[in-house]
Amino acid sequence: MNDKNDNNGDNKNNFFNNNPLLVFVIFSVVTIFAFKAIFPEDQMGSGMNAQNGQVTPSFGQSTNQTVAYSDLKKLISSGKIEYVGIGPTQVRAVSKPMGGQRITYTARRVVPDETLIKNLEANGINYGGINEENLLADILFGWVLPIFIFIAIWMFIAKRMQKSMGGGGGGGLLGIGSSKKMINSEKPKVKFADMAGNKEAKEEVQEVVDFLSAPDRYVKLGAQIPKGVLLVGPPGTGKTLLAKAVAGEADVQFLSVSGSAFIEMFVGVGASRVRDLFEQAKKVAPAIIFIDEIDAIGKSRASGGPMGGNDEREQTLNQLLAEMDGFSTEAAPVIVLAATNRPEVLDPALLRPGRFDRQVLVDKPDYEGRIEILKVHIKDVKLSKDVDLKEVAKMTAGLAGADLANIINEAALLAGRAQKDEVEGTDFKEAVERQIAGLEKKSRRISPKEREIVAYHESGHALIAEITKGAKKVNKVSIVPRGLAALGYTLNTPEENKYLMQKHELIAEVDVLLGGRAAEEVFIGEISTGAGNDLERATDIIKSMASVYGMSDIAGLMVLEKRTNQFLGGQTQKDFSDDMAKNLDNYVRETLNERYQIVLQALRDNNDAIEEMTKELLEIEVISGQRVREIIKDNGGTVYEAEDLHSDAVDENNELVNNDEPVKKQKDTKNEEDVENSTDDSSKNSDSETTENNEENKQDKKED
């Protein structure tokens, strides 16, 4: 039965049914030419008799012959012609009967020729005018055919518009209301095993898989499965992959579409496409509808202000709300999954129970998650024995799964470029540094004076990081230019995953940032533009301590700035008076000056270590973190070997082992990611320094 319906559908969608007017035009043209071929114009007026000056046809009694004009005049003079018809361009002469047959001679008229009429009168031959026009041909070629040509052109343009707008059958005017061409329908083969990390997110959507696989188990108990699940998280964390994995595990149809595909210049098109989307899903149920970047149509209707917002977007949203209220998951199991980086801008009606009543956070992976993701992506990569994925995971703290996949691919490309048989650990380190700091610019030529400034600057960062409690340990120091503006950088690697930052750790971060400028002042005697980004980030940290985290006496516990768009870098909204702003500015300036003096003294106390470190950097350009610690110790400095993270060690059950009573380790909602979002600005605008600080405060770079 289905095969018959498919065949009928194919027959209805053939060329003749899709283009009836164009087919009619072609048929008309063919008919005209066939008519002209069967009844040539030469026969019009042929077989004529001259009786009382009249011309009468005598079909079947004459033959046609085309002659030259001069020959026609000779025939007239010879007396063989009975009647001559003179037209604007032709002269036709009918011969006298010869054996019951007449011959019609046709010649192209030569104008002017005043002798023709005289010759006819001299020979006593009747003559008259003839009409050379063909009325039927004039109507067809002069009126009907041009009209159909314009219609055919209009149909062609309409067809092109229909295709460009994704229209299909049943899509309204030109088919622009249909969403068939914009929906990617498939049965994914992706499983949960193909998506490493984010165990909590996979556990949250597992019941969706169970419901689609065995809905009767839930229906008989009276349970109602969520109609919609909203996946939120930073870019590149695998929200789309998770949605495909849900469909793959449940072995159901997966209909994916982007939120922007619903918006067109025509009002009402988006609503029509939403209806069409849900109709298709019901036909292939059980199924999953996945709407990527739903914030394109789901933005709060209050965001337009008192004058309202975008009418087309709001109509599309209203239709989506109505569809999610109107369909029953028991009758046709259809689950709506959506992904966004901006959950805070979504309309409250979209997030209420009965629609998207569950939000699943797909966050950046932790240390163990990064190891799992690396293992997934290296399946087809030939690795050397010296590659340590744990070390790579430590160096890539704060990066998303897409970043890790890119690092592995970049390492493989570097190994192939060097004509290696295997990807080595050095390739991974170089790939990580490319991801964080940019491409190494070995060809960039800088003067010896600038190299000396950069070396002292980076040595200052490295030394303060190693001698300050709460600072992250140095992994590598380099004065090789990288990226667009970086003349050097200091790479810091955390000891373990951290979710909170204490006040002394923030102060330590400020000290490390100030170390580069302080080293220039102490050892060069003059400051440069290389610390521009360092000062900017240090200012942001001190300001956040006072305005967001309540770590000063200026505002006490009052929050002065609110955070939005946490997954897209973060934006702040200030809410305080001018007097408070003045006090805040004074506090930031005084705190920075105070910390700067402390850093200056620390550098003076360790001047021998700075000199030796700078000398080595100028010679070999790159030194490791272990070498930095050795230099400090050799010159009498004190290095914090292991940072005392939040006082006590934590066992595998997340319990403090050194206290008298075990206390569960708390995870405050304002984690380290909030701290870094308040201070992480793009470092590529600095004149001579780039400083990179990955999310969750896992990794730092101080670059000139």
Catalytic site positions: 458
Side-chain-facing half-sphere of 693: CA atoms under 13 Å: 26
User: Is the separation of the CB atoms in 162 and 173 below 8 Å?
Assistant: no
Of 336, 115, 132, 139, the C-alpha closest to 246 is 336
Q: Where are the alpha helices (DSSP H) in 123-258?
A: 135-139, 145-164, 199-213, 216-219, 239-250
Query: Across the strands, what pairs with 599?
Result: none
What is the residue whose two structure tokens read 């010159």?
635
Strands (E), 526-674: 561-564, 571-574, 622-624
* Termini Cα distance of the chain: 73
CA atoms of 614 and 453, how far apart (whole Å): 9
Amino acid at 479: I
Dihedral sign for Cα atoms in the order 372, 377, 378, 379: positive
Task: Tell me if 358 sits within 8 A of 207, measured CB to CB.
Answer: no
Residue showing tokens 């061409």: 181
Tell me how far apart the alpha carbons of residues 606 and 213 are, in angstroms, rounded to a whole number. Answer: 67
Using alpha carbons only, what angle is made at residue 40 by residues 39 and 42, rounded to the nearest 5 degrees?
Answer: 125
Q: How far is CA 277 from CA 286, 666, 675, in A?
A: 14, 44, 42
Residue in 373, 353, 375, 351 with CA at minimum distance from that of residue 364: 373
What phi-psi label fits residue 125: left (phi over 0), alpha (psi between -120 and 50 degrees) or beta? Answer: beta
- Rounded-to-integer distance, Cα 226 and Cα 206, Å: 12
In the three-class reduction of DSSP (H, G, I as helix; E, B as strand; rest coil), residue 381 is classed as coil
**What angle (nearest 5°) sits at the alpha carbon of residue 163, between those of residues 157 and 165?**
100
Determine the Cα–Cα distance for residues 442 and 450; give it in Å rounded to an integer: 15
Quick check: 347 and 300 in contact, CB under 8 A? Answer: yes
Cα dihedral sign, 289-292-296-301: positive
Across the chain, how many H-helices and E-strands are there?
25, 20
Which residues in 350-406 belong to E strands, given as ranges? Answer: 356-361
Structure tokens at 146: 């041009």
Pairing of strands 356-361, 228-232: parallel
Long-range contacts of 605-610 (CB under 8 A, 24+ apart): 606/463, 606/467, 606/632, 606/635, 606/637, 607/522, 607/523, 608/635, 608/636, 609/463, 609/634, 609/635, 609/637, 610/456, 610/459, 610/460, 610/463, 610/519, 610/522, 610/523
Whether the CB-CB separation of 456 and 376 falls below 8 Å is answered with: no
Find all residues with CB under 8 Å of 312, minimum gap 6, and list them.
263, 264, 266, 267, 268, 269, 270
Q: What is the DSSP letter of 418?
A: T
Structure tokens at 482: 């990288």
